[in-house]
Amino acid sequence: MSYRDASRPAFVGVDADVSVDGGLEADVLVVDAAVDSLRALDPLVLSLLVLLVAGVVLGGWWAVRWFRRPPGAHLQRVLEEYDDVAVLMHPNPDPDAMACAMGVEAIADAVDTETTLQFSGEIRHQENRAFRTVLNLDLESIESSSELAADTVVLVDHNTPRGFTGAQNVEPVAVIDHHPGNGTGTRFTDVRTEYGAASTIFVEYLEELGAATGEDDGTGLELTPELATGLLYGIQSDTNHLTNGCSKAEFDAAAYLFDEIDEDLLERIANPQVSDDVLQVKATAITEKRVEGPFAVCDVGTISNVDAIPQAADELMHLEGVTAVVVYGENDGTIHLSGRSRDDRVHMGETLRHAVSDIPMANAGGHARMGGGQVSVDHMQGLGPSDGIGREEFEERLFSAMAGERS
């Protein structure tokens, strides 16, 4: 065998004796045959084939662009398709929910989509009332789905419509939230349970969309002092001033907002006057609490302002040696619960959910550090399939649940 033959590469499944020149000639014949086949096609068929290939390529390009688009741009594109939308906050909205609604309003306004900010329940907490008043928010209260301002609904700071007649029939087009749950939007869903506040998500949207600060640069989307202040306070209120349940995203969002906030507005929201009934509930929680080890529980009785319950829970968390608390009280036939925890062993949302799990029509849940729930008094007393339980037994359940006991 000559050197030329020895140096010729041989491949598995290919006869090494076949000449390279012969292989090239075969390839040329195949290409020529393919070209002849294309030429033989009817011009109309060939044109359609070219259009089909172009369509596939173009569609793939748009698909790649769509999936690479940041979430804020996705949401704005969805909002742009509608003339008007109803932005729905959870019942009895807090600063985080109201700030998120402000965020949707700003993003929608930049694409000429009208928004109506709506909620069920009441705004009673003095901090929440101050937020609404100081920032001059135009919010509408509803009691039925028929009062929704538009067929297109965006949910913020919760992921399942609730708190009004017909809520179960509402299918939101978009959901933006940080609470655990299975609710989704038909066009857009962004639920980040690792975040301490839903407002943080909207801060990221504004940054992604290049919101103008100071003087409007013509983009149509502006981070106004009112919006920046609202979003920062929304983050602060849901994270106990960046000390509870935070992720790095909360600190990044606060830094982004800092230069645009109005300190006077922020101070007015943060230091509202407190009503007498709230002080009374706090006093009851402090004097009537029951403490077992590191846990405290208090039944504050019948109340007129349910927003006093979480404030009383916050107050009890200042007790030395106490790491988890639950406060509950009755209003209009419903027992309202609020829990707080700084104990790594106590996931408060799961604690409350477990404590009411076998009571019909009861619901509870939340995050590791805070949670809430509602229980019908009638069902707690035995209406429906359960035998019912008394207040004393209910408190024992709460202590057992905080201690990690699962029956």
CA distance 219 to 234: 25
Last residue of a domain, one of 208, 235, 270: 270
Mean pLDDT over the full length of the chain: 88
- CA-to-CA dists, residue 33 to 329, 333, 342, angstroms: 85, 84, 76
Q: Is residue 169 part of a domain?
A: yes
User: Of 190 and 219, which is predicted with more confidence?
Assistant: 190
pLDDT (0 to 100) of residue 295: 98
Q: Is residue 64 part of a domain?
A: yes
Q: Is residue 338 part of a domain?
A: yes
Among 351, 328, 333, CA closest to 402: 351
pLDDT (0 to 100) of residue 125: 86
b/e 223-257 (16+ beta carbons within 10 angstroms → b): bbbbbbbbbbbbbbbbbbebebbbbebbeebbebb
Same-domain check for residues 107 and 132: yes
CATH code of the domain in which 372 resides: 3.10.310.40
Last residue of a domain, one of 211, 235, 270: 270
Same-domain check for residues 89 and 124: yes
pLDDT (0 to 100) of residue 17: 47
Instruction: Indicate the number of domains in the chain.
Output: 3
Same-domain check for residues 226 and 293: no
pLDDT (0 to 100) of residue 82: 98
Owning domain of residue 259: 72-270
pLDDT (0 to 100) of residue 51: 76
pLDDT (0 to 100) of residue 388: 78
pLDDT (0 to 100) of residue 381: 86
Q: Is residue 180 part of a domain?
A: yes
3-state secondary structure of 260: helix
Whether 326 and 297 have beta carbons less than 8 Å apart is answered as yes
Same-domain check for residues 232 and 295: no
pLDDT (0 to 100) of residue 18: 43
Last residue of a domain, one of 241, 270, 299: 270
Q: For the residues 72-77, what does the mean pLDDT come to?
A: 98
Same-domain check for residues 297 and 213: no
Same-domain check for residues 207 and 163: yes
pLDDT (0 to 100) of residue 6: 42
Q: What angle do the packed helices 225-238 and 126-134 form, to 10 degrees?
A: 170
pLDDT (0 to 100) of residue 406: 58
Q: For the residues 146-170, what does the mean pLDDT come to?
A: 97
Same-domain check for residues 129 and 252: yes
Q: For the residues 389-404, what does the mean pLDDT come to?
A: 94
Amino acid at 158: H
Structure tokens at 148: 């929704």
Confidence (pTM): 0.70
pLDDT digits (tens, 9 = 90+) for 44-70: 666 676 677 766 766 665 554 545 689
Same-domain check for residues 95 and 223: yes
Q: For the residues 388-399, what does the mean pLDDT come to?
A: 92
pLDDT (0 to 100) of residue 61: 53
pLDDT digits (tens, 9 = 90+) for 312-352: 999 999 999 999 999 999 999 999 999 999 999 999 999 99
Reported confidence tier of residue 136, pLDDT bands at 50, 70, 90 = very high
CA distance 342 to 225: 33
Comparing 130-144, 234-248, 265-279, 377-391, the range with the smallest average pLDDT is 377-391
